[in-house]
A = this chain, B = another copy of it.
Amino acid sequence: MSRTPLHPTREQIELPMVLDCLSDPIRLAIVYQLAQQERVSSELCCGDFSGLGAKSNLAYHFAKLRECGLMQTRVAGTNRFMRLRREDLDARFPGLLDAVIKSAARDAGRLQVLSGCDVVKMD
């Protein structure tokens, strides 16, 4: 395993890449779960998403999420802890992440990959 994976700088985060990343139901579910986790200010590791698919497929989606700047990975032992890059995203695209997460929360019932998540009422 390599060291901490590469992440784009805040300024390198691009709108189309972020939107494309969020448009995949599995990645949207990952982001959604990370957003829920923000409330208790802790991180999640890869294994916490095992309900969303096979390990190798998740690793593929994690890489996409990192490359587009949506999340950050911190290596700790055999685990990788992940969190949303909330500050960078809010700085680059104000209101976007909140709107997406809120919309996903409202639509949790019809976004089948989200159905397994803890659904929390937003607002």
On A, residues with C-beta under 8 Å from B are 14-17, 19-20, 22-25, 28, 92-96, 98-100, 102-104, 107, 110-111
Chain A interface helix/strand/loop/mixed: helix
Number of copies: 2
Cα(A93)–Cα(B99), bound, Å: 7
| A102 and B95 contact, CB distance less than 8 A | yes
Residues of B within 8 A of A22 (CB): 16, 19
Contact between chains at A24 and B14 (CB < 8 Å): no
Q: A14: which B residues are within 8 A, CB to CB?
A: 107, 110
A111 touching B23 by the CB < 8 A rule?
no
Contacts of A111 in B (CB 8 A): 15-16
